[in-house]
Amino acid sequence: MSRGKQNEDDSNSTLFDARNEYYVGNFMGSINFVLPEQGTAGAELLSYMYLSYLAIDSGRLVASDIKENNTTPLQALRYVYEAFEQPERCEELLEKLTDKVATDEDEINIWHIATAIVYCYDNQFENALKILHGSSNLESMALSVQCLLRLQRVDLAKQLVAKMQEISDDATLTQLAQAWVALALGTEQMQDAFHIYQEFCEKFKPTPALLNGQAVVHLGLERYEEAESVLREALTKKHNDYDTLINMMVLSHLTGKSTETITRYWEQLKQFYPKSDFVVDLEKKSAEFDKLCLEYELSGEEALLAV
């Protein structure tokens, strides 16, 4: 996670393994690489364990291990946990994070990544990009690619991936960023993304993130049976995975499944991710639709009375 270029060549190092397992979404795998060395590990290695805990909704372990008076860069990840738990404190926590980014050298890049994560969580993608701008660190560049895609700037994301390829074309993050951009570009590029996800499933192990990547390709190319197969496999990895439930809803709609089937996935999303962007946005649209229906119904009744 160093601010400079990452060493992707030392395939025997624990840091390399923990880092790559985190990238492909095998969060327990990343944790298990770090745990045996937790007592002697440096902040960079430990950061992947704590980022993985955050990813599997075990942030309390982050708060338990990283005390408020912690003086290492890992304090940044405690701030991330606090932002996730108390969204109303995002502004306050971002002030602390940006102060650290401005005043500390941040040799292992944790403060920059943590600040950008909180900005993204607060839907401030432009500010996240400002924090990450100019870095030759692949993690910062990959997170910038995700921000650009959220802002519908596929053109700039593609340019940034080209820069990542110049640094390390074979790096896991570079390959993943290529896949993200290929999905955003649409059907002509989607098969390239599929090959990347397939290769990583074989190289590491299938994870919900990798399987959902494959599923999106299948959905985009109207290969619905294949999409259902990989999505069901993803559900065996994590029964309430956010992306899997959304993609199962999409698949069910495209294949004409019953309303009950679609509703089942929707109810799971509301249960496990009530504050997620997808749920909040869809509920808002549903409320607006109901309001319009009511207005139309009332205006229709008035017209009948006038007759």
24 closest CA partner among 198, 150, 167:
198
pLDDT at 10: 44
pLDDT at 55: 95
Report the number of distinct structural domains present in the chain.
1
| Mean pLDDT value across residues 188-205 | 94
| Mean pLDDT value across residues 119-141 | 96
pLDDT at 301: 54
Residue 146 pLDDT > 90, yes or no?
yes
Residue 18 lies in a domain: yes
Which are the contacts of 87, defined by CB distance < 8 A and separation ≥ 6?
A: 121, 122, 275
pLDDT at 295: 74
Residue 222 lies in a domain: no
Residue 26 lies in a domain: yes
What are the start-end ranges of the E strands in the chain? none
Residue 209 lies in a domain: no
Residue 265 lies in a domain: no
pLDDT at 153: 97
Residue 290 has, within 13 A of its CA and on its CB side, a CA count of: 6
Burial class (CB in 10 A: 0-12, 13-18, 19+), 116: buried
- Torsion over CA of 198, 181, 247 and 206, rounded to 10 degrees? 20
| Mean pLDDT value across residues 91-98 | 97
Number of H helices, E strands in the chain: 17, 0
Residue 260 lies in a domain: no
Q: For the whole model, what pTM was predicted?
A: 0.90
Q: How far apart are CA 169 and CA 179, in angstroms?
A: 13
Residue 130 lies in a domain: yes
| Token pair for 279 | 């749920």
Residue type, 86: Q
Place of tokens 């770090």: 34
| Token pair for 103 | 């005043």
Residue 167 pLDDT > 60, yes or no?
yes
CATH classification at residue 59: 1.25.40.10
Q: Which domain covers residue 81, as residue numbers?
A: 1-187
User: What confidence tens digit (pLDDT) does each residue in 268-280 have?
Assistant: 999 999 989 899 9
Pick 302 or 224 by higher pLDDT: 224
Residue 264 lies in a domain: no
